[in-house]
């Protein structure tokens, strides 16, 4: 697949293989974005983000390997242009605050409408911080 176009380059970090495949298909079905890789753990994720030149990293907060919070910091240090969007079932305020403090640009609950994830990818790509938990998203 040619990647020199203007689509948003998304890397998905999700340890549930079925969900990762669904995310990849969901993202690839959009005209303005493409999935450039899948990761199943935090181990080596920062290097993978840098080598894939991902614009957005959709990352679960519950994966094996390196701590997600440390991984967020690593991505920030190694890939200054990549923005991390957390996609998690843990959408409590403490998790959100920790992720944002570590460098996340957004947080989308796995419990909401999947279309909100695509919207959040676009908004974060445009430089907006997005927090979407529970039933209704809001910008912060």
Chunked mean pLDDT (size 10), the chain, 140 residues = 74 95 96 96 94 96 92 92 94 90 94 91 97 57
The pTM for the full model equals: 0.90
Indicate the Cα dihedral angle 19, 118, 59, 107, nearest 10°: -120
Domain count along the chain: 1
Confirm whether 16 is domain-assigned: yes
Mode of pairing for the β-strands spanning 83-88 and 106-109: parallel
Report pLDDT digits (tens) over 50-86: 999 999 999 999 999 999 999 999 999 998 899 999 9
Domain assignment of residue 3, yes or no: no
Structural domain of 22: 8-135
In a domain, 42, yes or no: yes
């Amino acid at each position: 697949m040619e990647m020199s176009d203007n689509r948003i380059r998304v890397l998905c970090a999700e340890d549930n293989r079925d969900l990762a495949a669904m995310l990849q298909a969901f993202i690839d079905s959009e005209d303005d974005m493409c999935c450039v890789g899948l990761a199943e753990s935090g181990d080596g994720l920062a290097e993978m983000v840098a080598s894939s030149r991902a614009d957005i990293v959709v990352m679960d907060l519950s994966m094996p390997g390196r701590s997600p919070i440390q991984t967020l910091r690593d991505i920030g240090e190694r890939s200054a242009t990549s923005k991390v969007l957390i996609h998690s079932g843990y959408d409590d305020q403490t998790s959100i605050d920790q992720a944002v403090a570590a460098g996340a640009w957004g947080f989308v609950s796995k419990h909401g409408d999947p279309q909100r994830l695509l919207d959040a990818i676009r908004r974060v790509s445009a430089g907006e911080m997005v927090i979407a938990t529970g039933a209704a998203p809001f910008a912060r």
